[in-house]
Amino acid sequence: MSTLVEDNPAKHRFEILVDDALAGFTAYLPRGEVLVFTHTEVDPRFQNMGVGAALVRGTLDQLRERGTTVVPRCPFMAAFIGRHPEYADLVTPEP
């Protein structure tokens, strides 16, 4: 199973492709240098396969490279960051 996480700025979301099929996304609202994440969704065909975690990890890794911080309003992303404190430095208060 090959996965790719990429930003889709036109739709304000990061998407994960599994074997070239859209498997899920995490939506955001841009607020300057901060992205407010509001919702994460994984296609039912790809649930319980680690796709959501791969999506959030790939998103946060890309944002770290860009120097962008996040507000994890989405419960899934907030829980992921809670379980992976190595990403806690990317969290910022709501702008």
CATH at residue 77: 3.40.630.30
15 or 2, greater pLDDT: 15
Residue 52 placed within a domain = yes
Q: Is the pLDDT of residue 23 over 90?
A: yes
pLDDT in tens, 42-57: 999 999 999 999 999 9
Alpha helices in the chain (DSSP H): 51-66, 75-83
pLDDT in tens, 35-89: 999 999 999 999 999 999 999 999 999 999 999 999 999 999 999 999 999 999 9
Q: Supply 38's token pair.
A: 């509001």
Q: Supply 73's token pair.
A: 């309003």
* 33 secondary structure, DSSP code: T
Count of structural domains, the chain: 1
Q: Is the pLDDT of residue 32 over 90?
A: no
Residue 95 placed within a domain = no
Output the pTM of the full model.
0.95
Q: Supply 5's token pair.
A: 């996480």
Domain extent, residue 35, equals 3-90
Give the list of residues 6+ apart from residue 49 with CB closer than 8 angstroms, or none: 1
